[in-house]
Amino acid sequence: MIVRNWMQADPLTVSSDTLVSKAKRLLVENNLRALPVVDDGRLRGMITRVSCLRAAEQVTRTEDPHEFNYFANRLQVKDLMVRSPITVEAGDTMEHCLRLGQERRASQFPVLEDGRVVGLISAAEVFYFAAQVLGVWQNWSGITLAPMIVGPGTLGAIAEVVEGAGAAIQSLMSVGDHGVDERRIVIRFTASDTDGVAEALMSAGYKILEVCADGRVCRDMRNEARASA
């Protein structure tokens, strides 16, 4: 997965001499968390909605007309922006981007190509990708299997059971914590009988954690097992 194929292309930008009051309005009106600051085609920094709102709040609290005037007509983006922000390249992998976000506790990155801003990758794009994988808008049914070692043929065997029960698999992935060998298996599918798919998996020896019908009603199978014990 390459960043350029998933980024927000041609993002809205501001120059360093843009008034903070204008940047704040752009951020709020476009529901953005941050804007790249670009001068002469080159990235200078990032201005965040949080910093703009915080500055506006501080001015409001003072109730000083001179402070109001300074905020509205003089305070510029360069006075509040984050300089030298962390960036990624358009040719980088999404895996690198996600790892960098975890390591640096960052939720948005300007995307550069030949030194110029060509996109923005943020938590919004990651959530959108996750929604696509999970079939949020399609209301796919889903089953999560208990952690297991994933080796050659593991996912293929699971797919065979699911499709043998009359389901059409839309997404199949393993999910695990860093440094842990066993991984949960997340399955998304379409089927007329979700419970029938679950029963087929249990009959094949798989332990089920969750069953979700049409992406709406989910059952925690661990709670049901405890209740019946």
**CA separation for the pair 143, 210 (Å, rounded):** 6
Q: Read off the tokens for 159.
A: 């797919």
Helix, strand, or coil (residue 116): strand
Strand order in the sheet with 8-9: 8-9, 116-122, 108-113, 88-89
Note the pLDDT of residue 57.
82
**CA separation for the pair 13, 43 (Å, rounded):** 10
Write the single-letter amino acid at 162: V
Place of tokens 């360069």: 78
Reported as a single tens digit per residue, the pLDDT across 78-93 is 998 999 899 999 999 9
Q: Does domain 3-129 have CATH number 3.10.580.10?
A: yes
Note the pLDDT of residue 225.
56
Q: Read off the tokens for 180.
A: 């842990």
**CA separation for the pair 220, 212 (Å, rounded):** 9
Per-residue pLDDT averaged across 131-146, rounded?
A: 88
Note the pLDDT of residue 173.
94
Place of tokens 């002469």: 40
Quick one: CATH architecture of 135-228? 2-Layer Sandwich (3.30)
Reported as a single tens digit per residue, the pLDDT across 155-193 is 999 999 999 999 999 999 999 887 889 999 999 999 999
The two counts, helices (H) then strands (E), for the chain are 8, 12
Q: Read off the tokens for 164.
A: 């043998």
Categorize the per-residue pLDDT at 223 as very low, low, confident or very high, splitting at 50, 70 and 90. Answer: low
127 pLDDT higher than 70: yes
Question: Which pTM does this prediction carry?
Answer: 0.67
Note the pLDDT of residue 45.
94
Q: Where are the domains of the chain?
A: 3-129, 135-228
